[in-house]
Structure 1
Amino acid sequence: MKKHRKLRKRRKTRKRRKTVEEKYGNIKTLVIAILIILVSAISSYKLHTIRSSPQPKTALIIDGLSVEFNNKEFIDKITYYFKQAGYDVEIYNGTSVTVDTYRKMFNGKYKVIILRVHSAPGDGIIVPKDAIVFFTAEPTTIKKYFAEQLMGFVVKARTLTRGESFYAITPSFIRNAPGKLENAVIIVLSCYGTLGGITVREFLDKGAMAYIGWDGEVSPEYMDKAGLFLVENLVKHHLSIEEAVRKTMEEIGPDPFFGSYLKYYPPNAGSYKL
């Protein structure tokens, strides 16, 4: 009998010990489950915050003409319009306009890109005559870009106003630059912006939403006046591209000396609003 009682007591002890282990095991499982729920909740909150927070809009202004035709009032006004509309604004002017500056266009963060630079038709050898090149502010007296010149990405180009030679980027540069434009609107404040269509097509193929420019030569004074009116209507008054371009031509008109008209591409981008 005594032996039987000791055996029963031992069994009870074992049973009690097992119950304690199960109890602590259940608590451990519960703690792990709570931690998983908390981590999931925090992750979901962060993901929701990222998705619901609007990404900052950024406008890029490349003002190579500031070296020769400085217009601080123009730059200040369009910067004001963009900032009032909630944009961040990055400006490169003067000697800061280099080949590397043009590479920045393709990092995918710009919603609007304004090129206030010298441009010129191609030479018919390296660059087709119905395409244009965009000037940097880097004089060709500085020997560089050997590989880019061999590949036709960069050429030497001479301004008509002063006859100075600068490095300029070509349509091949645009085509082969790393990155995309991510639906950016390109506004070319320069001569021959829409000449031929080759340069326009390269920008669109690179991911631009729309391309706006003049079909011939323009004077700096007229270009800035019309360009400011265009940007004001696009950014401040939120007109569509078609409405803003049409209103600019109605109110400001074509270039009074050269007769050049402002145009946009592709046609189906006319309804787009910034």
Structure 2
Amino acid sequence: MFALHKRRIKRKPRTSKEFIIALTLIVLAICIALTASLMSNRGASQAKPKAVIIDGLLHYPNETFVKEATSLLNSTGFEVDYIGGEKVTVDLYRRLPSLGYRIIILRVHCGPLVETLPNGTIVPGEDAILFTAEAYSPNKYRIYQRGQLARAVITGRPNELYFAVPPWFFDECAEGKFDDSIVILDSCYGFYSTSMAEAFIRRGAKVFIGWDGEVQAKHTDYAVLVLLKYLLIDRLTVDQAVKKVMDEVGPDPYHHSVMLFYPSSAGDYRLERLKR
């Protein structure tokens, strides 16, 4: 008979190639994850703040204003979008709070909201409306045509009807929130009452700047350029900048309207210095 002896087989420890490869892969994965995270954070921190010029004054073009305003904004670290002409629509106003703009220049018509009675009598209201450059059609935007939109006509052009938005459009129909935005209404009647300014503030804007009455396009364009200089280059507070504009540019020489801002608590607001 033979006795069977079990022979112990010594296993090689896993500290050789397999362990080294596994450890290398783990370290490599960690390095890739850290690099991706750092790159993501760096990209986010270096992203330029955005500004927009919304230009719906179809009959009062001013390329010089657009170029100079864009240059001022670019030189102080802003990426600038220009939205003009027929792209100034109801849908643009609806999406505007969600688009991430820190400075919004609204070069659009604005006027008092009035009601026309069946007998033709015109009854002035207490609110102002922002015009689009989108031709009015009773069959379009039916979902909003239960008081959220208005029909607008430009003085001297009675046959041209456009969609317009009242203050409560931003409360009831807009999406998203403004990013502590400075909103500059480069047009008439921004402060026909404070209702339009209040609507923007409720939606997340930091401050609303505009005129308390009718103003000529060339006057407000120049005043807004001076305002941008004081806000962006000299880094004055909102209150200081608006006062300096009124000292330097003055009220509209024909209509005597003046530039105002809302709310008063934003008077001490100053744009932070941007890294370029």
SS of the residue aligned with 1:129?
Answer: strand
Which of 136, 139, 142 pairs up with 2:135? 139
Give distance in 1, aligned partners of 2:111 and 2:89. Answer: 17
Identity %: 35
SS of the residue aligned with 2:46?
Answer: coil
- Cα distance, 1:100 vs. partner? 2.1
2:146 paired with 1:155 = no
SS of the residue aligned with 1:111?
Answer: strand
- Cα distance, 1:3 vs. partner? 5.6
Q: Is the 8 A contact 2:95 2:176 kept in 1?
A: no
Map residues 8-157 of structure 1 onto 2, 5 A cutoff: 10-11=7-8, 14=9, 16-17=10-11, 19-20=12-13, 26-27=19-20, 30-31=23-24, 33-51=26-44, 53-65=45-57, 67-123=58-114, 129-140=125-136, 143-150=139-146, 152-157=147-152
Q: Is the 8 A contact 1:105 1:113 kept in 2?
A: no
Write out per-residue CA displacement over residues 149-197 of structure 1, whole angstroms, 9 at most, x where no aligned residue: 12x2221112223233211012122113011111111000111102221
- Which structure features the higher share of strand residues? 2
Q: Is the 8 A contact 2:53 2:82 kept in 1?
A: yes
Tell which structure's C-alpha radius of gyration is larger. Answer: 1
Give distance in 1, aligned partners of 2:3 and 2:78. Answer: 89
Give distance in 2, aligned partners of 1:190 and 1:72. Answer: 16
CA shift in 2, pair 1:39/1:268, >3 Å: same
Give distance in 2, aligned partners of 1:225 and 1:31. Answer: 64
- Cα distance, 1:228 vs. partner? 1.9
- After superposition, the CA RMSD in angstroms is 2.6
- Cα distance, 1:209 vs. partner? 1.0
SS of the residue aligned with 1:90?
Answer: strand
- Which structure features the higher share of helix residues? 1
Give distance in 2, aligned partners of 1:55 and 1:224. Answer: 29
Q: TM-score, normalised by structure 2?
A: 0.84
Query: Number of matched residues?
Result: 262
Alignment match, 1:223: 220
CA shift in 2, pair 1:173/1:36, >3 Å: same
Q: Is the 8 A contact 1:175 1:206 kept in 2?
A: yes
- Cα distance, 1:94 vs. partner? 2.2
Q: Is the 8 A contact 2:105 2:184 kept in 1?
A: yes
Gaps of 5+ in 2: 117-122, 272-276
One-letter amino acid matched to 2:63 = K
